[in-house]
Chain A
Amino acid sequence: MRSLLRVAIVFFLFTAFPKVHAQEVVVHSSVKQESISRNTLRAIFGMRHRKWPDGFPIKVFVLRDDASLHISFSKSILYIFPYQLRRAWDRQVYSGTGQAPNEVESIEEMRKKIADTPGAIGYLPLPENHENEVDTALRVLHVR
């Protein structure tokens, strides 16, 4: 009886407090590098750095500006605010000096697009022990 109670408590704790999800930078499996500097990552999401070291074009995927994952990714990984990204994209798009990132509607679509697009980069919420759960078509890029 006591052990049953313990199981119930453990079960309750697991369901009441969802697993910790950290957002991670995720790339298509074709991308060779293991890690990236924050500065380069900012240049990639700012649409200023456009190819991987092997010359393959980078395809950037983002959620909408007001998506909570986009906001937390901008702030805690890139260390900039979403409105700054939007301004940087607009400046380039409307002066002909750059392009906008590809916007996706949902996290699921983000996962699928990155998995299907060689050279793709984006971000996903992943459980702490994510290595096992990531699709074979996706890889996590560690930020230095």
Chain B
Amino acid sequence: MFVKGSRLITIISASCFLFLKSIVTPLYAFTWPETLQIYGFASQGFILTSDNRFFGNSEEGSFDFTELGLNASIRPLPDLQLSAQVLSRRAGEGDDGNPRLDYGLLDYNLISNQSGNLGFRLGRVKNPLGFYNDTRDVAFTRPSIILPQSIYFDRTRNLALSADGLQIHADQRTDFGDLFYQLGIVYPNVDDPKTTNVLILNQPGQVEGELSSIGRLIFEREGGRTRIGLSGALVNIRTESPTSSTRGTIRFRPLILSAQYNAEFWSLTSEYALRYLKYQDVAGFPNFSRTGESFYFQGTYRFFDKLEALLRYDVLYQDRNDRRGNKATGTDPKHSLFAKDWTVGLRWDITNAWMARIEYHYVDGTAWLSSLDNPFPSKTDRYWELFSILVSFRF
């Protein structure tokens, strides 16, 4: 904990230094306070499931899904931005609504000209994974109420959200298309009780993020009509247990391939992920490694200006060599190792500030259900349905 704190202090003091250095540059001294921007959003969801629990006691109907966010940014120089966002999220047992710093960073462009930028971000930076991870808690930016859980599972969301460290970023504009690179060297945020529970279940002990790396490359053609992305991470986590003298290691290596085509009235999106996971010397667990596989196909169609319809098929296999779940152990049913989700949805942009959504899922399997909401895997049902409504406001 202390190590984490001192790291943060270093980051903050470096930020302050660069900030002060920038404000004494006289050229824009008159106008930069005007670059302050403040934005926020509030979303409230309702979830009803036929069986199993998702975000609270959803079998009875749950309003236990609220997202609130407030962010500010300022650009003292054209090449320097400071920004931060505070987020509160309530979602069943997994998230209790305590406000936390979602990101807080200094972004500086070392080079910027007509053909692109090269710069770095320092502080708490959103993890660039796939098309949607960066803004996954902002309902307006999602394609659906619940993101495709095969890739954006909410179980280990804190691990995926943001991390503390340094990110190098570049964009390159060419006649053929635009390239966006991001590469981060970070310490993942894993030491909250929820993420600890997902990683080592009820075993006593601690987990701590070690130096990890994360990167993404996106290629956009014709101003984003076609978008192709490749993202991946090498996540390293250390575990300690009072019952064992050896330190355990958890290695997580997701690789995501993303593709999107945007026409005037419709968009097609697909993402495919391989997730390699390895446990070594983690107290209470046998040593193992496995590769999970995830993918979805998604189509959206915009009509009458304000409406958007969604159809998606989303598949998750915890182990790509065991798609039927035959290797399930203990009381875990086979269906806890896969999930296939058909989703239809409708989005209505009532005004620029208000948006409403309605969504239906038919799911075979429970692989992405939270064990906090569903503590007894044997009591889950294989085939289940989920219905959801969400209203969101932004300013």
Contacts and interface: CB of A to CB of B under 8 A. Distances in A.
B102 to A, nearest CB: 8
A116 B28 CA distance: 16
A46 B109 CA distance: 17
A99 B35 contact: yes
Nearest to A103: B352
B298 to A, nearest CB: 15
A90 B392 CA distance: 15
Interface of B: 27-28, 31, 35, 37, 39, 41, 69, 71, 73, 75, 77-79, 81, 83-85, 103-105, 107, 109, 112-114, 117, 121, 125-126, 134-135, 138, 140-141, 169, 171, 173, 175, 178, 222-225, 262, 264, 302, 305, 352
5 contacts: A39-B175, A56-B78, A58-B78, A88-B224, A99-B73
Given A40-B114, A49-B112, A97-B83, 15 more contacts: A39-B175, A43-B173, A43-B178, A57-B31, A64-B352, A79-B222, A84-B224, A90-B141, A93-B37, A94-B134, A96-B83, A96-B85, A97-B126, A97-B134, A98-B81
A46 B171 CA distance: 13
Contacts of A53: 113-114
Contact of A95 (B37, B41, B135, B222): B135
Say whether chain A's binding surface is mostly helix, strand, loop, or mixed: loop
Contacts of B84: 96
Contacts of A58: 78
Interface string A34-77: 00010110110010111101011110000011100000000100
Contacts of B31: 57
Contacts of A64: 352
Q: Chain A contact residues (Cβ within 8 angstroms of B): what range?
A: 35 or more
Given A93-B37, A94-B85, A96-B103, A65 B114 contact: no
Contacts of A98: 81
Contacts of A94: 39, 41, 69, 71, 85, 134-135, 138, 141
B78 A57 contact: yes
B287 to A, nearest CB: 37
A30 B222 CA distance: 30
Nearest to B223: A80
Contacts of A51: 78-79, 112
Top 8 closest pairs, chain A to chain B, by CB: A96-B83, A51-B78, A57-B78, A80-B223, A95-B134, A94-B135, A95-B126, A96-B103
A55 B178 CA distance: 22
Given A93-B71, A97-B121, A100-B39, A80 B224 contact: yes
A112 interface: no
Contacts of B81: 96-99
A84 to B, nearest CB: 5
Contacts of A88: 224
A134 B9 CA distance: 53
A49 B113 CA distance: 8
A77 to B, nearest CB: 11
The CB with the most chain A CB atoms within 10 A, among B78, B112, B305, is that of B78
Contact of B78 (A37, A40, A55): A55
A91 B71 contact: no
A4 B83 CA distance: 67
A65 B83 contact: no
Contacts of A56: 78
A88 B140 CA distance: 12
A98 B71 CA distance: 12
